């Protein structure tokens, strides 16, 4: 079983690379954003709970997200592994994910951090915003604010996973194939 966590600022290529790695290794890609949308759209008990926090203007507690992830993992018992995308974002979430993995007799094998210069990422996102319809991809100040959020909250996870010898920084600039090759080199070394 192969379990990976993908990190990177918006526009770093996580979604593109996750799709490729998912296919190559027959993994299940678990995006927390997708899980939230699915659960709320389908009015599941977890979706209702998450919506109650959001509607009240509060952040959804980590435990609700962990419960959604656990539900998704259990629904895919025959999976050869998982790519976690968008979670964890804090040390507390990383600890909760490790506990979930331990409870399910699994482990995170590696974290892949796609890195690129902010100016390159801004350009990518502004270009994506021309066709995506996402308002947060059409305003440079909003994009840079998202980068600041990532740096403040998610970047510290580097230490958490480095201490476990699971942190791998990948240069996220170049052709899609070049970046995929870098990721495959990490996976082959596990």
Task: Name the active-site residue from 51, 128, 144, 153.
Answer: 128
pLDDT at 111 over 90: yes
Q: Which residue has the higher pLDDT, 95 or 37?
A: 95
- Return d(Cα 104, Cα 100) in angstroms, integer: 6
What is the domain range of residue 115? Answer: 2-185
190 domain residue, yes or no: no
Q: Which residue has the higher pLDDT, 130 or 136?
A: 130
Would you call 144 a catalytic residue per the annotation? no
46 domain residue, yes or no: yes
Within 8 A by CB and 6+ apart from 26, the residues are 79, 80
Would you call 182 a catalytic residue per the annotation? no
Angle, helices 62-74 vs 45-55, to 10°: value is 160
136 falls in which pLDDT band (50, 70, 90)?
A: confident
Task: Name the active-site residue from 51, 144, 146, 153.
Answer: 146
Would you call 89 a catalytic residue per the annotation? yes
3 state SS of 76: coil
pLDDT in the model for residue 59? 81
Would you call 128 a catalytic residue per the annotation? yes
Would you call 14 a catalytic residue per the annotation? yes
Rg of the Cα atoms in the chain: 16
Within 8 A by CB and 6+ apart from 50, the residues are 36, 39, 40, 60, 64, 68
The backbone torsions φ and ψ at residue 85, rounded to the nearest 5 degrees and listed phi first, read -125, 120
Other Cβ atoms within 10 Å of 178 Cβ, number: 11
pLDDT in the model for residue 150? 87
Average pLDDT over residues 4-18: 93
pLDDT in the model for residue 19? 95
DSSP state of 139: -
pLDDT in the model for residue 134? 80
Q: Tell me which of 104-113, 126-135, 172-181 is least confident.
A: 126-135
97 domain residue, yes or no: yes
Within 8 A by CB and 6+ apart from 180, the residues are 17, 20, 21
Give the pTM: 0.89
pLDDT at 141 over 80: yes
Q: CATH no. for residue 152?
A: 3.40.50.300
Task: Name the active-site residue from 9, 14, 124, 182.
Answer: 14
pLDDT in the model for residue 33? 82
pLDDT at 187 over 80: yes
Pairing relationship of beta strands 167-171 and 2-8 according to DSSP bridges? unpaired
Q: Whole-angstrom distance between the N-terminal and C-terminal Cα of the chain? A: 11
Domain count, the chain: 1
- pLDDT tens, 68-109? 999 999 999 899 999 999 889 888 899 999 999 999 999 999
Task: Name the active-site residue from 9, 89, 124, 182.
Answer: 89
Across the chain, mean pLDDT equals: 93
């Amino acid at each position: 079983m192969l379990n990976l966590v993908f990190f990177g600022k918006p526009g770093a290529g996580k979604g593109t690379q996750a799709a490729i790695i998912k296919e190559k290794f027959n993994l299940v890609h678990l995006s927390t954003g997708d899980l939230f949308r699915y659960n709320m759209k389908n009015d599941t008990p977890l979706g209702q709970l998450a919506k109650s926090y959001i509607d009240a203007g509060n952040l959804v507690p980590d435990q609700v997200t962990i419960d959604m992830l656990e539900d998704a993992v259990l629904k895919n018992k025959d999976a050869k592994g998982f790519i976690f995308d968008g979670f964890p974002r804090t040390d507390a979430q990383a600890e909760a994910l490790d506990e979930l993995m331990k409870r399910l007799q699994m482990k995170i094998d590696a974290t892949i951090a796609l890195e690129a210069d902010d100016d390159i990422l801004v350009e990518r996102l502004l270009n994506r915003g021309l066709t995506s319809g996402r308002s947060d991809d059409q305003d440079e100040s909003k994009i840079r604010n998202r980068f600041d959020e990532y740096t403040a909250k998610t970047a510290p996870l580097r230490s958490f996973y480095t201490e476990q010898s699971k942190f791998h920084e990948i240069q996220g600039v170049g052709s899609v194939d070049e970046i995929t090759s870098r990721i495959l080199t990490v996976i082959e070394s596990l």
